[in-house]
Amino acid sequence: MGPMVGIRDRKALREDLLPAGLTEVLAVLERAFGAELAVVETETGQLLRPIRYPPGARWDLWIALCGQVAQHARPEFLEDEDPLLVLAFPLCRTETTHLVAVGFFLARSIKEGENLAGPAAVLGVTEQDAAAWAKRQPVWSAESLLRLADLAIHYLEEQDRCRHFAQEAESLSAHLANTYEEISLLHRLTRNLKISRSDEELGRVVLDWLLEVLLAEGVALQLLPVADAESHRAGPGRTQPVLLTAGHCPVDNAGFSRLVQHLCLGVPLQPVMLNRAVTCRPDWPMPEIRQLILVALVEGENLFGWLAGFNHVDDGEFGTVEASLLSSVAAILGIHSGNLELYRQQSELLAGIVRALTSALDARDKYTCGHSERVAQISVRLAQQLGLDARQQQTIYLAGLLHDIGKIGVEDSVLRKPDKLTPEEYEHIQQHVRIGHRILQDLKKLDNVLPIILYHHEAWDGSGYPDRLPAEQIPLGARIVAVADAFDAMSSDRPYRKGMPMEKIETILRAGAGRQWDPRVIDAFFQAKEDILEIVRRERQEIPAAWLPGSASLATPPRSL
């Protein structure tokens, strides 16, 4: 018995190798069987969990037999020494672990004074101790033991499945949490996608959001140039790289460009994820960058920039979750940048069309050359004085350029006539507002411009044309362009007269406030008069003769068409 106790004590040291949760499961099984259970690891031949009492005397044999039980994957009896049964059944089976449970059971009640020498030898105790042990044991039939062992195997399999499902649920929960954060951020991002919002403005907002959910010390967005110096004149366009950051970014704009160049990214542009395995190498040029995720902002074949996360907050490693999040954000930013660039190019095309149309009009009459540009700039200055926003100012600028485009359809003999127009000629030239409206009505981007072109000859008192609209029924943009148009017409030299002196112009404008023109716009004109005069001086090669000191006022008012 002594050596067996030594084996038991020595093998008990291996109980810490039991799979997680198995100790609790064994406690349940022991209550069901009413007996202690030992655990054998058949691959190594180790007794991981001994039976405290009785110790058992044939563990070398039983451990060898347990290997067969594990292979058969069913309960079997290792000993049948009437009335003692030694039962073994498999607990769990993995690639590295084959565990079998072993227990001592009584097949029938013992009689008083019965010879128990055989069972005592199996149990490793005296006959007297064997008898005392037997009196405390429940009685099992062999069939009941096998059936209960089968149930135990199924119970263990269910427990193993439950643990597996719990692990999957935990993994899924973590994945869902990450996915929720990603979807939440992407939802916020898509709600802020407006063509009126620049990529730099949107980028700053996105970086702040990313810093909340990404386990990075800093995030950065480098936006690449989208226009060269020549095309920049035609519309807003970035001509140099811009670096936006949030948190601690270990590189500046030039350093970011060197980082991208060092990585030698090919086509297609795949996300780059670097951790200590790379950044600890002697040839890594930026030791301040320990971990990195870098993704490209692309749309089609166009590269608009780079989005990066720098240095894990716990000095851990970036993984697929972080890379997926940045890739999704970069994809949306790339599409937004592509839309902005397309919008910019379309705006340049529209501006080119507008300039071509105004040039065609100016080419018909040297006396009106530059009139449209001056009206446009004066109208914008009036709009600023009245507090209109940038988008409204842009609309008014285009309307100023195009307000007389319908004169392309007016006969030269009428347009250039130096004498007074006949009623028929006057009616003919009044059609230029409707002609201009028809010319431009199929350009959807000019929808807001059309009412200004159509109604810039309406009068505040309802006496204008084409629809005799009064006061506030006239679009504000048309009221603004009307004043700018009248001022430039009065101050310009025409075939039938010289430009008026400023004193005369001011008198006419004040007299026409509340009758021909909106009084508010006239007030704005005088508040911004110095700026307006500077616009005229800058746009004309020389100051009109009528503005020079000593010039005489015209006896007849200007012809405003």
Query: What is the pLDDT averaged over residues 113-117?
Result: 92
pLDDT of residue 235: 43
Kindly list the strands in the beta sheet with 98-106, ordered across the sheet, starting from the edge strand earlier in the chain.
Answer: 46-49, 38-41, 98-106, 84-93, 76-81
pLDDT of residue 554: 33
pLDDT of residue 40: 93
Report the C-alpha gap between 319 and 296 in whole angstroms.
17
Looking at the chain, the whole-number percentage of residues with pLDDT higher than 70 is 83
- Give the 3-state secondary structure percentages of the chain, helix then strand then coil, rounded to 5: 55, 15, 30
Cβ atoms of 4 and 56 within 8 Å: the answer is yes
The 3-state DSSP class for residue 286 equals: coil
pLDDT of residue 174: 62
Amino acid identity for residue 34 in this structure? G
pLDDT of residue 95: 55
2-159 folds as: Beta-Lactamase (3.30.450)
| Of 521, 486, 508, 517, residue with least CA distance to 554 | 508
Query: What is the pLDDT averaged over residues 108-125?
Result: 93
Does the pLDDT value for residue 231 go beyond 60?
no
Does the pLDDT value for residue 437 go beyond 60?
yes
Cβ atoms of 453 and 440 within 8 Å: the answer is yes
The string of DSSP codes covering 167-215 is HHHHHHHHHHHHHHHHHHHHHHHHHT--TTS-HHHHHHHHHHHHHHHS-
Report the C-alpha gap between 114 and 151 in whole angstroms.
33
Kindly list the strands in the beta sheet with 292-299, ordered across the sheet, starting from the edge strand earlier in the chain.
Answer: 242-247, 216-223, 302-312, 292-299, 272-274
Q: How confident is the model at residue 75 (pLDDT cuts 50, 70, 90)?
A: very high
Does the pLDDT value for residue 6 go beyond 90?
no
Domain ranges of the chain: 2-159, 192-341, 365-547
Query: What is the pLDDT averaged over residues 161-186?
Result: 70
Q: Which two tokens stand for residue 484?
A: 């700018």
Selection from 144-153, 328-337, 495-504 with the highest mean pLDDT = 144-153
Q: How many CA atoms lie within 13 A of 4 on its CB side?
A: 19
192-341 folds as: Beta-Lactamase (3.30.450)
Say what the pTM is.
0.51
Does the pLDDT value for residue 301 go beyond 90?
no
* Out of 15-29, 222-236, 291-305, 444-458, least confident range: 222-236
Q: Which two tokens stand for residue 553?
A: 């006022």
Amino acid identity for residue 11 in this structure? K
How high is the mean pLDDT of the chain? 83
User: Phi, psi (5° rounding) for residue 59?
Assistant: -65, -30
* Out of 262-276, 459-473, 534-548, least confident range: 534-548
Q: Which two tokens stand for residue 192?
A: 């802020």
pLDDT of residue 540: 59
pLDDT of residue 241: 93
Tally: H helices and E strands in the chain: 20, 10
Q: How confident is the model at residue 219 (pLDDT cuts 50, 70, 90)?
A: very high
State how beta strands 302-312 and 84-93 pair: unpaired
The string of DSSP codes covering 471-496 is GGGS-HHHHHHHHHHHHHHHHS-BTT
Does the pLDDT value for residue 229 go beyond 50?
no
For residues 53, 56, 60, 65, the Cα torsion angle rounded to the nearest 10 degrees is -100
Does 2-159 match 192-341 in CATH topology? yes
The larger pLDDT score, comparing residue 444 to residue 294, is at 294
User: Phi, psi (5° rounding) for residue 231?
Assistant: -75, -20
Q: Which residues contact 158 (CB under 8 A, 6 or more apart)?
A: none
Amino acid identity for residue 324 in this structure? S
Angle between helices 476-491 and 390-402 (to 10 degrees): 50
Report the C-alpha gap between 355 and 372 in whole angstroms.
10
Does the pLDDT value for residue 375 go beyond 80?
yes
Does the pLDDT value for residue 550 go beyond 70?
no
Q: Which residues pair with 98 in a beta bridge?
A: 93
| Of 102, 98, 130, residue with least CA distance to 114 | 130
pLDDT of residue 268: 63
Q: Under CATH, which number does the domain 365-547 receive? A: 1.10.3210.10
* Out of 195-199, 458-462, 470-474, least confident range: 195-199
